[in-house]
Structure 1
Amino acid sequence: MKPSLLRLSLPWLLLAAVGLLAVVLRYGVIEPSDMTHLCDGAATHPAWCQWRQAAVMGFLSYGYGWAALAAALLALAWKHPFTAWLAAAAGLFALQMYCYEGGAFAVLVGCLRLLRLQAGASPGDEDGQGDSEVQTQP
């Protein structure tokens, strides 16, 4: 039975959504100087400033890079589509949050593992006989 197009494309669409959310977090909340001044030491800073500070501490301590590397190792050890997707998503997030080395490795491992698992789940033969039998005539 062939997987549907939605089932094959859903992980990639979710990866695009994770990447978009990471971009919004970086360029909408972390990078702008007015957000920094709003959260700097003022006694009346908004409640979300604690979340922003935690996000900043995550990339200053390279926490996102380590998390992405751990997800990549999990994807290599456990051949499951979710772990491959998790590695790619953690890598995309780490790339946007200044953890380039670990993020790039995790994106590469996650995407390649996800492609491999999807290729194994979707047989490409039209006759339904599998790849083990080769037909001499069309």
Structure 2
Amino acid sequence: MAYWLFKSEPDVFGWDDLVAKGDAGEEWDGVRNYQARNMMRAMKVGDLGLFYHSNIGKEAVGICEVIAEAHPDSTSDDPKWECVDVRAVRKLPRPVSLEEAKADPRLKDMVLVNNTRLSVQPVTEAEWAVFMELSGDKGA
């Protein structure tokens, strides 16, 4: 299993919106960055991701799961754009802010800390463990 971070503006599509989609989940559509698209192409069903609210809040608020591997993005007529489908797994007991991540020396090499603009990012197993610790998430 691999770990990822999915960024979304909460006033456009937030954690509660994903939760409302239930087990059917939602396409992680609209990504128009080659690097982020290529990361989605590498994702496998069962991979987990941090759901991160960008712009407003700037914090990881939940855990989502990849439920469909890369396929054509329904919001584009251009076949080069692909996306995965994700579903909400659980809300983090406590959000973890970007400020908190930047302050933790264990996360100094994390993509989120060094490239806050990328909408889909890899997360290492060690970084995932730090986020779970900081959020108070003990697993389901």
TM range, smaller chain: under 0.3
**Which is bigger in relative contact order (C-alpha 8 A, separation at least 6)?**
2
Quick check: which one's strand share is greater? 2
- TM-score after normalising by structure 2: 0.22
- TM-score after normalising by structure 1: 0.22
Query: Which protein is bigger by CA-based radius of gyration?
Result: 1
Quick check: which one's helix share is greater? 1
